[in-house]
Amino acid sequence: MNIFQHLLVPEDEPCIRGVFKDLFEGRPRTYEERWRTSEGKVIHLEGLSVARVSQSGEVSSTFCTLRDITERKQASTKMSPSGYGRKRAYVKHKRN
């Protein structure tokens, strides 16, 4: 399966290509990406990837751990407007 065609949200492709580049140069990476499920829902993932290197020193594969952080992202989005409301209330109080 090609993740770029089937899973990854197109706007995240440049970031993930950068992750692959770093992995093949021997640098582990942490990153966030979005995937589209088979139902069309977008989920947010946090990833940690490292290259697996053969005895000859060549990258043979990658080892990736992905964690679903969709709820955390949704919670932080919901908190933003309330933070704005508190700031606005403070400014209004300060004017009196």
Q: Domain 3-70 maps to which CATH number in 3.30.450.20, 3.40.50.360, 3.90.226.10, 3.40.190.80? A: 3.30.450.20
- CB 34, CB 23: distance < 8 Å: no
Contact (CB, 8 A) for 50 and 25? no
- Which pLDDT score, from 0 to 100, does residue 77 have? 74
Strands (E), 14-78: 29-36, 42-53, 59-68
Structural domain boundaries in the chain = 3-70
Is this prediction's pTM over 0.75? no
Q: For all residues of the chain together, what is the average pLDDT?
A: 82
pLDDT, one tens digit per residue, over 22-79 is: 999 989 999 999 999 989 999 999 999 999 989 998 888 999 999 999 999 888 877 6
